[in-house]
Homo-oligomer: A and B are copies of this chain.
């Protein structure tokens, strides 16, 4: 058994609470006071368990990747038909972005606004920018598999198409953050997929 006084709070639960605050407010606008209040943890306990604000943000960010984004990625990879896979992935993201039980929009897209601003630690900035690029690569890998499968023509511009899809995804997050509803965004996904490569050309 561990010695000393045991924690009075659940680390996972507290990190979830921090995730929600950072999700809604981004890095800079989230204050330690808001975080401690939402987490139900005193400041010294917070610093002892998670380190400083940037460390906490990174930990919350990693949890977001695992707990939220992994689900959409899984949808993208599980569906065998590539066009349908992309559609299911985007719709899954739309559902999450507009879920009234969660903060609006996307943790990453909300966070990217802080990039380039003084007061945003380099580690935070790098994590955000890397994961924006990660979305492009996620789509790219799936599209490449679609080309291998012969579901997409060999001439497909995988890089261009994946950049386009990542852009649509980011745009959906902005619209969701601005309060646009689920149904509208689902129809936007439908429109976006009309750009899908056709073999009748």
Contacts and interface: CB of A to CB of B under 8 A. Distances in A.
A14 interface: no
Copies of the polypeptide in the assembly: 2
Interface of A: 24-26, 28-30, 34, 103-104, 109-120, 128-129, 132-133, 157, 160-161, 163-164, 166-175, 177-180, 184-185, 187-188, 190-197
A34 B118 contact: yes
B178 A164 contact: no
B161 A191 contact: yes
Given A170-B170, A184-B163, A175 B117 contact: no
Nearest to A119: B29
Given A29-B120, A170-B174, 15 more contacts: A29-B114, A103-B116, A109-B113, A113-B113, A129-B179, A132-B175, A157-B187, A160-B187, A164-B191, A167-B168, A167-B192, A168-B171, A174-B174, A194-B194, A194-B196
